[in-house]
Structure 1
Amino acid sequence: MNRLHQALFQPRRIALVGASSDRTRLTARAQLYLRKHGFAGDILPVHPREAEVLGEKAYPSVTDIPGEVDFAYILLGTQHVEGVVDAVAAKGIPAACVLADGFAEAGPEGAALQARLLATAKAAGLRILGPNSMGIINLNDRIACSVNAALEAESLPAGRIALVSQSGSMMGAIMSRGAARGIGFSHLVGTGNEADLSAGEVAGLLVDDPQVDAILLFLEAIRQPQHFADLARRAHAAGKPVIAYKLGRSPYGAELATSHTGALAGSDAAAEAFFRAHGIARATTLEGLLELPALLVGRKPLARPHRAVGVMTTTGGGGAMAVDCLGVAGIESRAPDAAASAALDAAGFAHHGRLLDVTLAGTKPDRVAAALNALQQAEDTDLVLSVIGSSAQFRPQDSVAGILRAREAGLAKPLAAFLVPQADQSLRLLAEAGIPAFRTPESAADCIRAWCDWRAPRAESAPPATPHPLPARPDEAEARRLFAALGLDSPFAVMSSADEVPEGIAYPVALKILSPDLAHKTEVGGVKLGIPDAAALKTEAAAMQARVAERAPGATLAGFLVQPMAKGLGEAILGFRRDPEVGPVVLLGTGGVAAELFRDVTLRLAPVTVEEAQEMIAEVKGLQLLAGWRGLPRGDLAALARAIVAVSHLAAREDIAEAEINPLMVLGEGKGVTVADAWIVRR
């Protein structure tokens, strides 16, 4: 383990700067909890006036502490932190945690203070956790260096799951929820503002820790995404799943109005694409965050998930709930196939439909085990789920015995359980046995969906350069020229004035105003379709110029764009965006003026491969009509996939914030695609 890991997670000498001798104060908690939960190292309180704090020798300043110090927890108010960080850095302490808030989250003055702290720390090689951090807990080594009130508990179960949380209060909440279920943690860390150490970097320190089998992330934002990418890649190689629960919408939403892509590619969709690309499993329920590790630990992502499960139940209503929630999550409860049916027949089980109801035999372990083993024979499911009724509450040993016995058969397919009643003892027994157990049908569906969605991290690839120059404020003509450089060339001409009618263009045509200021030209009367000839084109151009000038008086008008009318079998929106959290993403969806209304879209991190582009096409419902749905003509989906790949190569262009084709007309099979409208936003 490296020095930073040692300092954060296994310190032997801890300085508590600002420790209080008043046991009722927040700043006394870290010292009380360290001793309460068995810390055997040196606690070094720092207090300018007290010679002793809560029975430990105190020191007037960090400088006065003799010998080396592994870790400093700074418990002082915001206004006193800067001077203490200077002293901690001068002392040569490798890591410090800052409890106080009032830094970057509090406005410009707080941000400036945080920047000064960071500069001092970097110059001395000091790493900072926080500010606004509730500290670090290592339960296996009995180190509770935190002020989180969850540590008031008399005892906390240690385990092999690590939690890194950007929320300090949720760190304690998740720990206490786990303790109630018999789920123990190895480490819990609150990263706070992440002025220096990010959640991804802290979690990365735990990948090689022999006490850790899985890493949970409770995230409010994805900061320093390269750390998460590195964490996920190394964790996958080590066979340790990384599981994220991410909150909320991005604060950048108000800045996304320049294009449909900006409005559609919100932070949550971008985060989903980020997790998928890097092999981070995502839980969307808090219960799921606690319950998913048992399903993933010791397993690898499915190469080709069926997105289907076999369900056995001892309660009809409970089984129906599970089937319903699974279906909402996109997971099918599948009727037994030939192999499973044969095994059920041999064991004497009547079966039909999607649910194997063994209510009358439900508490007999040998019969439960036989039913589960039969369902495990299916070749078209990913998991077998046992739904247990009232016996889970009143006869916990009997209710789980059949599941334990079925596992002893050694079959590869995962077994899991949903307990319909409140059955804490049964949950605890299953947790101790390492069997995934779910408290609600919603969390069961969430975890099974996450299991099927879980991927190996994709291979890193660098997009090819597209050295096409762009002006500072590109209009649609410039956007089209860039897309042509990417291989998406569609015919058009430019009119500098209403009198300059282009030659050699095929009528009927579409006429559009050219302006770097107008992303949505239709709204100001800047688009006219189906113009039949040159005379009508000239007339309409003059009328359009007057109309747009009146409706958008502040817009720069650079002329007109003329293009032949094109009719495809379908319309797509194809966009690129440099997301403020996760970086370049490519978006595909149902296109046209209703793109934002239907929000039928999918995202990936850019660049993408042809295979990923094909996956994206399959995920957009509106594009399935082009795959020959019910005998309809087939569109050129191969050309669409190539277009997605081409647009994703804009990831190589640091000068582009957003780019969009909407609509991209998908022509008949073998006839390609046509750019109907294009837009680019420079950074």
Structure 2
Amino acid sequence: MTMAADWTRSLLNPQRVALVGVSDDPSKTAGRPLQFLRQAGFAGDIQIVNPRRETVQGERAFPSLTNLPERPDHVFILTDAEKALDALEECQRLGVPVATMLSAGFSEAGERGRANQARLDAILARGGTRLIGPSSIGIVNLHTGLMLTANAAFAEPDLPRGGIFVGSHSGSLIGALVSRGKRKGIGFAGLVSVGAECDLSIGQICHATFDDPKVTSYMLFLETLRDAEALRAFAIAAAERGKPVAAYKLGRSDEAAELAVSHTGSLAGADEVADIFLSECGIARVESFEGLIEVLPLLERVPASPTRRKGRVGVVTTTGGGAAMAVETMALRGVDVVPASEATREKLRAAGIDAGHGRILDLTLAGTRYDVMKSALDILRAAPEFDLVLASVGSSARFNPELAVQPAIDAAQGPGTPLAVFLVPDAPDATRLLAASGVPAFQFPETCGDAIAAALHRRLPRRLRPLDIGAAEQPSLVLDEAASYALFAASGLASAPHVVLDPGQPVPDLPFPFPVVAKVLDAEIPHKTDAGGVVLNIRSAEELAAAIARITARVAERMAGHRVTRILVQQMTKGLGEVLLGFRRDPQVGPIVVLAAGGIYTEIYRDSTMRLAPVSREGAIEMIADLKSSRILDGFRGGPKGDLAALADAIVAVSKLADAQDVRVEEAEINPLLVLAEGQGVLAIDGLARVSKT
């Protein structure tokens, strides 16, 4: 209980740290932490463990942790994997609250590594000492001098301190962040490389820093969404405390899509799932590494929105070409650059400023005068039509940095809309001046657009039940189309009228009129068109009999003699449009719902949106609005309107598959879901599901 209670304090604020396996050579990886701790002025006790030496770098060394005069609060293990496991067990016996392990050689390292991993798992299962790593390059608290890291970048002198805490899957990247941050005048409170996250995850570590008043925001470099529940819990708690979170996420692979049998799986690939997960956690995702470094000062000034916000930006500039680059990058990311209203232009004219008529307020050379730029910024920041004001500063930012950016620095101190600055030339001195004054500044048009879009699109996190990411207890099976319709009906979703026929029997009277469609009904043939198992526009019983014979022959030909035992006959219905509506359990974040352009071109158009399940009706309406093709269903150019209310209800219904009784729905898809005219509902006209028994 004692260890569980105090690991959070010992993580970043230990009184005594021990270095196990530290080298006598300070230039070596295992020798750096001692050197860094001394150079940074760490005020706590530093204990050295090296069984082969009596002194290390001129300081006394002890043969083991057990021989130390006092129990350390935090141990940094720098040895090879086998010795590291010995040290971790020793930490456990002594009651050390937390250890960080640099060592590699576990699950990634062949048969011997797998044996090491099994031993590590057994140690961690006993509880007690919490672990960062393995393969962690360390943890840093810049405010206390805790340089418990082997990253060579921390030899850099005079690293600026600030309020940003960094959690990173990459060890080398924490060094890149501090060095680039120093160039921009951006300081950090602490940084951690989490390594393999075999115990403590990024979410848990960041959560442990909430009570530190020096931590004001969070920066995440993610390679995976391991322990997504802890990450989400941290993000929600951060939002409650007004501490924004930004993330740069690697890994745009299709590995998750390979697990699926439906179009939904390919649409909900690893990156798409990560994008919606981060969004619903209230985490601002940037697309560039430089954007990650520059976005947090902006996030601290632009609050997250409780509802959807596209973002309206007013731009004032001294260089039209430079501003145009920033405007273009913002527009590509869905941000609206809006012109000043007539009321705002009148105020500009009253201040002696040429208000112009364009979307951008281009002050040209007049804008290099302090009074002109300062007045323009004050007026724009007071205007209600903007969510953000961006000042684009030209060459003077490099050659006269104090004069060029002083209007923005002074204007930002007063009340009004958040202000940011885009520096067109390479102007490091101006960048540092703005950073020191707390004014968000951008050095590249691409990162300017990236960061502004991330900030303006950030929403408050959505509270959901705990993520259901457990693996199925039973093997899964694919349902045929008729069984899938029955599953959908249980959630309240209607399908087009249909019957199941035996191809060896005469065609009976149908309970619905012609025309109809005939399809092979077989759980082993989820994509019926590819197998030649579909015939459309059948207008009589005779045509239906011929169609059944044709399907039987084509399926046997294309699928090596496969025998057709059942045919589904469905009434053909016309609608105003088609969508795909899908559900699947993602292995990292749990149940998700996908809405996409429907029909055979789903994967070509890639017009899709998704949400974590369950989806509220408000969320379903947002999903429909996200879909570009949904405008066709909303009376585009005076055309008839589709039943979008019924489509929203269908989205909610499909999201309820996460709670289906008797079976666990692994994935399901309706493609297409036919959207009828307004007031007439929606109909599933093809579908499949994969389930496992609960």
Q: Quote how far apart the aligned CAs of 1:573 are.
A: 0.5
The one-letter code of the counterpart of 2:336 is E
The reply on whether 1:495 has 2:523 as its aligned counterpart is no
Q: Name which of structure 1's ranges 54-63 and 475-484 shifts more when overlaid on structure 2.
A: 54-63
The reply on whether 1:566 has 2:573 as its aligned counterpart is yes
Q: Quote how far apart the aligned CAs of 1:302 are.
A: 3.0
Query: 5 Å matches for 1:10-409?
Result: 10-107=13-110, 109-250=112-253, 252-253=255-256, 255-256=258-259, 258-297=261-300, 299-303=302-306, 305=309, 307-350=311-354, 351-408=356-413
2:603 alignment partner in structure 1: 596
Structure 2: stretches of 5+ with no match in the other structure = 469-473
Q: Quote how far apart the aligned CAs of 1:471 are.
A: 8.6
Structure 1: stretches of 5+ with no match in the other structure = none
How many pairs are equivalent? Answer: 678
Structure 1 segments, 4+ long, off by >4 Å, are 461-464, 554-558
The one-letter code of the counterpart of 2:130 is R
The reply on whether 1:646 has 2:653 as its aligned counterpart is yes
Tell me if the contact between 2:555 and 2:561 (Cα under 8 Å) persists in the aligned partners: no
Q: 1:444 aligns with which of 442, 445, 448?
A: 448
2:461 alignment partner in structure 1: 457
The reply on whether 1:678 has 2:681 as its aligned counterpart is no
Q: Deviations over 1:401-448 (max 9, x none)?
A: 11122223x232101000001111111111111111011111111111
Tell me if the contact between 1:207 and 1:231 (Cα under 8 Å) persists in the aligned partners: no
CA distance in 2: counterparts of 1:575 and 1:555, whole angstroms: 28
**Quick one: structure 1 residues 331 and 483, their matched pair in 2 at CA, closer, same or farther if it must change by over 3 Å?**
same
CA distance in 2: counterparts of 1:432 and 1:317, whole angstroms: 27
Query: 5 Å matches for 1:411-450?
Result: 411-450=415-454
The reply on whether 1:669 has 2:678 as its aligned counterpart is yes
Tell me if the contact between 1:658 and 1:680 (Cα under 8 Å) persists in the aligned partners: yes
**Quick one: structure 1 residues 255 and 109, their matched pair in 2 at CA, closer, same or farther if it must change by over 3 Å?**
farther
CA distance in 1: counterparts of 2:127 and 2:188, whole angstroms: 33
**Quick one: structure 1 residues 613 and 124, their matched pair in 2 at CA, closer, same or farther if it must change by over 3 Å?**
closer
Tell me if the contact between 2:165 and 2:190 (Cα under 8 Å) persists in the aligned partners: yes
CA distance in 1: counterparts of 2:310 and 2:630, whole angstroms: 22
Q: Quote how far apart the aligned CAs of 1:325 are.
A: 1.4
TM-score, with structure 2 as normaliser: 0.94
2:471 alignment partner in structure 1: none
Q: Name which of structure 1's ranges 649-658 and 90-99 shifts more when overlaid on structure 2.
A: 649-658
CA distance in 2: counterparts of 1:155 and 1:462, whole angstroms: 43
**Quick one: structure 1 residues 558 and 108, their matched pair in 2 at CA, closer, same or farther if it must change by over 3 Å?**
farther
Q: Quote how far apart the aligned CAs of 1:261 are.
A: 0.4
Tell me if the contact between 1:339 and 1:377 (Cα under 8 Å) persists in the aligned partners: no
Q: Quote how far apart the aligned CAs of 1:570 are.
A: 0.4
The one-letter code of the counterpart of 1:429 is L
Q: Deviations over 1:568-627 (max 9, x none)?
A: 110101101111222111111110000000000011111111111111111111111111
CA distance in 2: counterparts of 1:184 and 1:463, whole angstroms: 34
Tell me if the contact between 1:499 and 1:538 (Cα under 8 Å) persists in the aligned partners: no
**Quick one: structure 1 residues 427 and 291, their matched pair in 2 at CA, closer, same or farther if it must change by over 3 Å?**
same
Q: 1:484 aligns with which of 479, 482, 489?
A: 489
2:618 alignment partner in structure 1: 611
CA distance in 1: counterparts of 2:267 and 2:424, whole angstroms: 38
Q: Deviations over 1:266-321 (max 9, x none)?
A: 11111111112111111111121111111121552134535221100011211111
**Quick one: structure 1 residues 210 and 343, their matched pair in 2 at CA, closer, same or farther if it must change by over 3 Å?**
same
Q: Deviations over 1:54-105 (max 9, x none)?
A: 1221111122112211111111112322222211211211111111222123
CA distance in 2: counterparts of 1:236 and 1:257, whole angstroms: 34
User: Which secondary structure state, in structure 2, belongs to the residue aligned with residue 611 of structure 1?
Assistant: helix
The one-letter code of the counterpart of 1:666 is V
The one-letter code of the counterpart of 2:89 is D
**Quick one: structure 1 residues 496 and 97, their matched pair in 2 at CA, closer, same or farther if it must change by over 3 Å?**
farther
TM-score, with structure 1 as normaliser: 0.96
Q: Quote how far apart the aligned CAs of 1:555 are.
A: 6.0
Q: Quote how far apart the aligned CAs of 1:349 are.
A: 1.7
